[in-house]
Structure 1
Amino acid sequence: MWKAIILIGGPEKGTRFRPLSLDVPKPLFPVAGFPMVQHHIEACCQVPEIKEILLIGFFPLSDELKSFLEYAKKQFTPSIRYLQEYTSLGTAGGLYHFRDQIGAGNPSAFLVFNADVCCNFPLQEILSFHKSKTTDDGITIVATEATQQESMSYGCVVEDAATGEATHYVEKPETFVSSLINCGVYAFSPKVLQYMENVFKEHQSERFDSGDDNADQSFSERISLEKEILNPYAGSGKMFVYKTKEVWGQIKSAASAIHANKLYLSLYHKTNPERLAQNSHKQSPTIIGDVFIHPNAEVHSSAVIGPNVTIDDRVVVGPGVRVSNSILLPGAVLKNHSCVLNAIIGWQSIVGDWSRVEGTAHQPDPNAPFSKIISDGLFNEDGRLCPSITVLGYNVFIAPEIIILNSIVLPNKTIQSSSKNLIIL
């Protein structure tokens, strides 16, 4: 019996994902028509040995989160539970804090995911690799190749090519260490939780030695998976590297959600072909490439949609509209002959007649082994705004015949003049 654990973080995380994370917890943001974390859950459901899926984080149990959990429990076979931390406990503190529930039933191994990674999740292969390489206190870390410059923004792994052992690990090094980067997907053997207990005891000892009675009570349970577990495990003969050549990315910013949307839509050809829209009859819109259209959306037959477009629940797309490389969130309305390219249109937002909402498409280097596709920050080195897409927050109204280019619009705004490279507060 195996378990899966999805680390979903908390509300003070995902600041680079604003304004989209202002209205929905980031793990529930819809990508390719479904909440980000649901793609992890669906991958786990393809592995019969996974009997329980635990979501760990410190998001309040909001109406949105309750609704998703109720839906997931009915929709999927494994048991699904949310374990809420009392405060931010770090990337491994939640694993330690809920160690008894993770270990219940004596799972032979447990998978751990960061909620903001997107890939095809070859879980069966990862677990088979883990069983073949490690002991009952071993770790398998999934890694992929990056360019030298990109690698320094991630955790870097040095591998013994002959054995597959991870001999060195550094989180976001200041100088080049390795082009092999941490994908945020792991397989842990049960006794790794005992190692976390040793780290916890060290924290308690440090707090006691400090003599500060006012010290944060949660300090001793804040454990960094990358720095306090993976780093000392490397070179111990207990951590091994599963290298994947499949597509992979992180959803750190709104722009990276567009890339993830493209990735998941492409995977639907193999996993869920029924989710992709087709050019079925004369009354349907023209579909180009991979497109998801929610059954409750209304799309005019004269619209041209795609490639890489998600049209969500209750979206209305009018006559003559053109949409490409974009996400239209629930309740959005695109009026007649509007154009949306490389953009995210927020919940209940309206794009007026003949208006354009557009971002600048980024073309990755086809010869690079890995590409981030987008920048994770809002500003470049000169301090200038540099989103590669345009984002409209919740309930934004774009007047007719307006152009919005490479801009971020916060919720509840009415835009009556064109803008370029702006954050509209």
Structure 2
Amino acid sequence: MLKAVILIGGPQKGTRFRPLSFEVPKPLFPVAGVPMIQHHIEACVQVPGMQEILLIGFYQPDESLMQFLEAAQQEFNLPVRCLYLQEFAPLGTGGGLYHFRDQILAGGPEAFFVLNADVCSDFPLSAMLDVHRRHCHPFLLLGTRANRTQSLNYGCIVENPQTHEVLHYVEKPSTFISDIINCGIYLFSPEALTPLRDVFQRNQQERQLEDSPSSWPGAGTIRLEQDVFSNLAGKGQIYVHITEGIWSQIKSAGSALYASRLYLGQYQITHPERLAKHSPGGPRIRGNVYIHPTAKVAPSAVLGPNVSIGKGVTVGEGVRLRESIVLHGATLQEHTCVLHSIVGWGSTVGRWARVEGTPNDPNPNDPRARMDSESLFKDGKLLPAITILGCRVRIPAEVLILNSIVLPHKELSRSFTNQIIL
């Protein structure tokens, strides 16, 4: 028997995802046509012996989240439950696991997966399970490789190349440690919760010694990376399985657009039925494109590569759409051009308008390159990046919106370049 835990964070964790996270919890943002965490769930249900999937986070009971969970349970015929943390302060990447340890261990699972919601991957869970069953390690981490410079932005793993034991672990080191980085996808044995208990008890003792009531809310904070992995590295308890498959963080709208591209490419193997195909009398399809069945797309539109069109979207005659996500209920009027952009829910782009952004993709000539952590500003100026239209934005005809972020419910009257429109 197996279980899976998906760590979904909370509203305070989605700041880099604004203004898109104003409308839906970040884990439900559509990536390649389906909610972000549906990719995690679909991977988990493919593992033989999976009995339950638990979502742990700080979101208050939310109607959209509850509707998603009900639909997921019906579609996959597997219990999918959300466990809500109500503490005054976040408990870290391990605090939620320890807080809900009884629910995780109920039924006696032989092991449980732990997946961060804000990662994109092909999720080689079965391969990780095979490694676990051969060696029964308490902690098994999924790792991948990054270039030397970008590895400093991640948790870095030094392994024994023969046994794959983690000898040293450093979260975001100041100097180069290793090109093997932590993917935020784990497989734990039940006994892995013992070190989490030890950290919790140590934190409680330290808070009592400080004798400060204001420190109590953080007493349950457990950081898997710093408090557990770093301390147990080199002690025969933590091992790494390195994947050559797709992987990326999803920390911002720009990385969500990149993740959509990766998943659309993966659909050729996992979900070919989700990819649109060119048909007589239909729009011209170039590359990998997802079109929701309820969307209305004019025959003269040209779509792709790497386009995702959501529920109830209207795409007019002569529209050109490339490297973009168009969210539910949006309208692209005749002859608009949308490139490297995200068009928000219910937004309208007028005729002959152009909405364009600048991608921040990994270096295509470096196979180990990863998405950089995007910074919005440099020297007080907005850096070129993808264009984001928030919910129910109206773009007039014949204007250019370039490298800009438009907050929800704005009705523009002219062109904008390199601006945040409040």
TM-score by length of 2: 0.97
2:387 to 368, 387, 390: 390
Q: Specify the alignment match of 2:9 in structure 1.
A: 9
Q: What is aligned with 1:18?
A: 18
Contact kept, 8 Å, 2:249 with 2:371, in 1: the verdict is: no
1:285 aligned partner: 283
How many Å separate the matches in 1 of 2:373 and 2:9?
A: 21
- Distance 1:12-1:361 versus aligned 2 partners, 3 A rule: closer
C-alpha distance in structure 2 between counterparts of 1:364 and 1:295, whole Å: 32
Give the drift of 1:372: 2.5
Look up the SS of the partner of 1:415 in the other structure: coil
Q: Residues 21-49 of structure 1, C-alpha deviation per residue, up to 9 Å, x if partnerless? A: 01110000000110000000000111121
| 1:62-101 map, 5 Å | 62-87=62-87, 88-101=90-103
| Displacement of 1:218 | 2.9
Aligned residues of 2:118 and 2:249 also touching (Cα < 8 A): yes
| TM-aligned CA deviation for residue 280 of structure 1 | 1.6
Q: Distance in 1 between matches of 2:4 and 2:374?
A: 27
Q: Is the 8 A contact 1:354 1:400 kept in 2?
A: yes
Secondary structure in 2 matching 1:215? helix
Report SS of the residue matched to 2:181.
Answer: strand
Aligned runs of 1:251-262 on 2, under 5 Å? Answer: 251-262=250-261
User: Which one-letter code corresponds to 1:300 in the other structure?
Assistant: A
In structure 2, do the counterparts of structure 1 residues 363 and 117 end up closer, same or farther at CA, with 3 Å as the change threshold?
A: closer
* 2:418 corresponds to 1:421: yes
Cα distance in 2, alignment partners of residues 397 and 371 from structure 1? 36
**Alpha-carbon distance in 2 for matches of 1:117, 1:387:** 24
Match of 1:124 in 2: 126
1:145-224 alignment runs, 5 A limit? 145-212=145-212, 214-224=213-223
CA contact (8 A) 2:254 2:359 kept: no
Does the 8 Å contact 1:142/1:185 carry over to 2? yes
Q: CA deviation at 1:410?
A: 0.5
Alignment partners' CA distance in 1, 2:107 and 2:247: 32
Task: Report how far residue 235 of structure 1 moved.
Answer: 0.7
Hey, what does 2:105 align to over in structure 1?
A: 103
Classify the secondary structure of the residue corresponding to 1:302. coil
* Percent of aligned positions that are identical: 53
Please give the alpha-carbon distance, in whole angstroms, between the structure 2 residues aligned to 1:66 and 1:350. 29
How has the CA–CA distance of structure 1 residues 92 and 174 changed in structure 2, closer, same or farther, with 3 Å as cutoff? same
Alignment of 1:305 onto 2:303: yes
Mapped contact 1:92–1:222 kept (Cα < 8 A): yes
Q: Does 1:318 align with 2:316?
A: yes
Q: Is this contact kept in 2: 1:375–1:387, CA < 8 A? A: no
Q: What amino acid sits opposite 2:233 in the alignment? A: A
Given that 1:207 and 1:215 are in contact with CA atoms closer than 8 Å, whether structure 2 keeps it comes out as: no
SS class of match (1:327): strand
- Partners of 1:393 and 1:94 in 2: CA distance: 32
CA distance in 1 between partners of 2:70 and 2:385 (Å) = 36
CA distance in 2, matches of 1:27, 1:76: 18
- SS for the counterpart of 2:190 is coil
What is the 5 A alignment of 1:220-259? Answer: 220-259=219-258
Q: For 1:383 and 1:150, how far apart are their aligned partners in 2? A: 24
Task: Deviation per CA, 1:31-71: give whole Å up to 9, x if none.
Answer: 01100000000001111211110000010111111111111
Matched residue type, 1:295:
P
Q: How far off is 1:250 after superposition? A: 0.7
Instruction: Report if the CA contact (8 A) 1:119-1:246 is conserved.
Output: yes
* Structure 1 segments (4+ residues) deviating >3 Å: 361-364
Cα deviation, 1:367-410, whole Å, max 9, x if unaligned, reads 32322245432124x34222421000001000100101111111
Aligned to 1:402: 399
- Partners of 2:23 and 2:361 lie apart in 1 by 30
The answer as to 2:408 corresponding to 1:411 is yes
The aligned amino acid for 1:94 is G
The amino acid across from 1:148 in the alignment is R
Deviation of 1:191 after TM superposition, in Å, equals: 0.6
| Runs (5+) with no aligned partner, structure 1 | none
Match of 2:265 in 1: 266
**Helix, strand or coil at the partner of 1:152:** helix
Q: How many residues align?
A: 420
Q: For residues 107 and 362 of structure 2, what CA distance do their matches in structure 1 show?
A: 46
Over 3 Å counting, the alpha-carbon distance change for 1:405 and 1:374 in structure 2 is: farther
Retained in 1: the 8 A contact 2:254–2:360?
A: no
Q: TM-score, normalised by structure 1?
A: 0.97
Structure 2, unpaired ranges of 5+: none
Shift of 1:4: 0.5
